[in-house]
């Protein structure tokens, strides 16, 4: 009698496993990249507007291991793009970074 209950239980269990369905996650759509030579709107108007805030310090960079990971802004870091970050300046700030050794 125990064997029959065990057999029925195993059949019901096996039968119920057949009804599970696989629901794949929707694929993320990649964000379109802006054209490489896109001019930022209003950037020409900022040439004469400097607030006099000058900082001198060491710059660091993301290593190759950070490529394709999310940065502080939430965007995916691309090692081939020009990007920078600052501890105190808000996101979307426009800054000029100059190498003091060569003036560029």
Residues 29-44 pLDDT 10s: 887 776 565 555 555 5
User: Could you identify the residue written with the tokens 């964000």?
Assistant: 31
The residue among 1, 98, 11, 14 whose CA lies nearest residue 56 is 98
Instruction: Indicate if the pLDDT at residue 48 is higher than 60.
Output: no
Instruction: Indicate if the pLDDT at residue 50 is higher than 80.
Output: no
- Cα 11 to the chain's mean position, in Å? 48
Q: What ranges do the domains of the chain cover?
A: 55-104
**What pLDDT is recorded for position 35?**
59
Residue 81 half-sphere exposure, CB side, CA atoms within 13 Å?
17
Q: Indicate the pLDDT class of residue 46, thresholds 50, 70 and 90.
A: low
CB 67 within 8 A of CB 78: yes
């Amino acid at each position: 009698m125990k064997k029959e209950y065990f057999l029925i239980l195993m059949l019901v269990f096996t039968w119920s496993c057949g009804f599970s369905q696989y629901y794949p996650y929707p694929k993320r759509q990649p964000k379109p990249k802006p054209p490489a030579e896109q001019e930022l709107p209003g950037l020409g108007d900022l040439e004469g507007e400097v607030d006099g805030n000058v900082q001198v310090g060491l710059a660091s960079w993301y290593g190759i291991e950070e490529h394709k990971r999310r940065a502080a802004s939430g965007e995916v870091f691309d090692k081939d793009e020009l990007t920078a970050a600052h501890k105190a300046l808000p996101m979307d700030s426009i800054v000029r970074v100059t190498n003091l050794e060569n003036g560029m």
